[in-house]
Amino acid sequence: MAAYERILCAVDFSATSEEACKRAVELAQLYGAQLSLLHILEYFPEDRSNEFIAPECDDPAGYLESQARLGLNELAERANCEDAVRRVLFSPDSARREIVRFAAANNIDLIVLGSHGRHGIAVLLGSTANGVVVRADCDVLAVRANK
Amino acid sequence: MAAYERILCAVDFSATSEEACKRAVELAQLYGAQLSLLHILEYFPEDRSNEFIAPECDDPAGYLESQARLGLNELAERANCEDAVRRVLFSPDSARREIVRFAAANNIDLIVLGSHGRHGIAVLLGSTANGVVVRADCDVLAVRANK
């Protein structure tokens, strides 16, 4: 059985994904693996409220992307993994599918993600982690926060 | 974030759970964690065929349990983890619930299991791993075989 060489941490900037990132950093160090941080912008609603996009913004998609990049940079600094690859992608369908696609395209052998992300209502708890576990061709570590 | 101290590997004696066991052993060594191997006998059908239980067997439940214990011992030997705790439990409902209960009762901080176990038909692929990811209060590593 091969040691993990390429670890992907999928983050949604929740407290749970912050924990997942710390665990991914730890595992990348233990295995001497390359670490990638990925944030998926699941969709881009034209009517997204001004809470997220300033009304004077000419390029809302670009604004969201730059905010996500900034978020990844700050996360990498907090988690002490500033050498990690950082990617922000728009998804035409769902975060879980995009994570699985990215993992396959980049020969990821371990995906790490929080198992309670932003979709945290009742029956949907853990749905992104769950969807990734079902679909991924590689190992998946679902990290539970507030243990 | 605390290092993993108690790792549980849930096995169903499939090729996938063999891989999961090897990974669990590796992680237990990396973290210096205690490793437990758990096999759940999901139900005990009175009419189970003679393929599994000899017709002259007086105690079919005991027979299945001793076969499972033997399987765990052989697995521990192959995976080079003969110091691992080994448990066989009967479940009144489902393997996934019993795994989660065992993990909670034993302060497990990481569950490792194969993500394609015996329930390997179409839509149910990964169902035990999935159920554990949804229900567990700790981290869950779903190991994919045949990568």
DSSP assignment string, chain A: -PPP-EEEEE--SSHHHHHHHHHHHHHHHHHT-EEEEEEEE----TT--TTTS-TT-S-HHHHHHHHHHHHHHHHHHHTT-TTSEEEEEE-SS-HHHHHHHHHHHTT-SEEEEESS-S--SGGGTTHHHHHHHHH-SSEEEEEPS--
Give B143's contacts in chain A (Cβ within 8 Å).
139
Is A129 in Cβ contact with B133 (below 8 Å)? yes
Distances (CA, A) of B42 to A20, B92, B95, B98: 31, 7, 6, 9
The pairing of strands A139-143 and A34-41 is unpaired
Q: What single-letter amino acid sits at A52?
A: F
Q: What is the pLDDT along chain B (147 residues), one digit of tens a residue?
A: 899 999 999 999 999 999 999 999 999 999 999 999 999 997 665 555 556 666 666 777 888 899 999 999 999 999 999 999 999 999 888 899 999 999 999 999 999 999 874 444 434 445 788 889 888 999 999 999 765
Is A144 in Cβ contact with B142 (below 8 Å)? no
The pairing of strands A6-10 and A34-41 is parallel
CA of A3, closest CA in chain B: separation in Å? 9
Helix (H, G, I), strand (E, B) or coil at B48: coil
Is B136 in Cβ contact with A133 (below 8 Å)? no
pLDDT in tens, A56-109: 667 778 888 999 999 999 999 999 999 999 999 998 888 999 999 999 999 999
Query: What's the ipTM?
Result: 0.88
The model's pTM: 0.89
Query: CB count, 10 Å around CB of B49?
Result: 7
Q: Determine phi and psi for B67, rounding to 5 degrees.
A: -65, -40
Give A109's contacts in chain B (Cβ within 8 Å).
147
* Chain B residues 88-127 within an 8 A CB cutoff of chain A: 109, 115, 125-126
Distances (CA, A) of B67 to B28, B64, B87: 26, 5, 12
| Structure tokens, B4 | 């993993």
Is A143 in Cβ contact with B136 (below 8 Å)? no
| Structure tokens, A15 | 């407290």
CA distance B109 to B134: 15
